[in-house]
């Protein structure tokens, strides 16, 4: 059975917000052009022993709104990751247990194993 830790509610909330913000950022990024700057498309040569040909269409680059949204996501992710990693709670955890505690915190929002 994994060790449990008495995570304060504000730390748990910051970790959950970090998880949700990262997921939202990744989802948003999937809607963006492949390049932030306008770039011509390309097609590579056929791969050896395969019919696969790697290619990308022309990229119009990000619009101003898209670039601003990416900047907002990155700022929020930096803020949340700093909040989680510098929380005073970590001072109360023995140095040898900190990595394990961090791993437990990353999954603290998930239902218990028998509920999943």
The verdict on residue 50 lying in a domain is yes
Q: Domain containing 48: what range?
A: 9-106
Q: What is the pLDDT of residue 116?
A: 44
Give the pLDDT confidence of 32-81 residue by residue, as tens digits: 999 999 999 989 887 778 888 889 999 999 999 999 999 999 999 999 99
**Residue 86 pLDDT class (50, 70, 90 cuts):** very high
β-bridge partners, 55:
43
As for how many domains the chain has, the answer is: 1
Prediction pTM value: 0.84
Q: Where are the alpha helices (DSSP H) in the chain?
A: 9-29, 64-85, 98-106
Tokens of 86: 């510098």
Task: Return d(Cα 12, Cα 10) in angstroms, integer.
Answer: 5
* Better pLDDT: 6 or 49: 6
CB-facing half-sphere around the CA of 96: CA atoms within 13 A: 0
Q: Is position 1 within any domain?
A: no
For residue 116, is it within any domain?
Answer: no
* Res 50: pLDDT: 82
């Amino acid at each position: 059975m994994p060790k449990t830790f008495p995570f304060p509610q504000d730390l748990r909330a910051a970790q959950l917000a970090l998880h949700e913000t990262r997921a939202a950022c990744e989802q948003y990024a999937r809607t963006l052009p492949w390049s932030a700057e306008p770039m011509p498309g390309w097609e590579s040569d056929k791969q050896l022993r395969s019919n696969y040909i790697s290619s990308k269409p022309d990229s119009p680059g990000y619009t101003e709104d898209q670039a601003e949204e990416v900047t907002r996501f990155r700022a929020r992710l930096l803020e949340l990751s700093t909040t989680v990693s510098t929380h005073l709670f970590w001072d109360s955890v023995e140095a040898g247990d900190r990595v394990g505690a961090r791993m437990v915190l990353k999954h603290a929002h998930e239902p218990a194993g028998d509920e999943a």
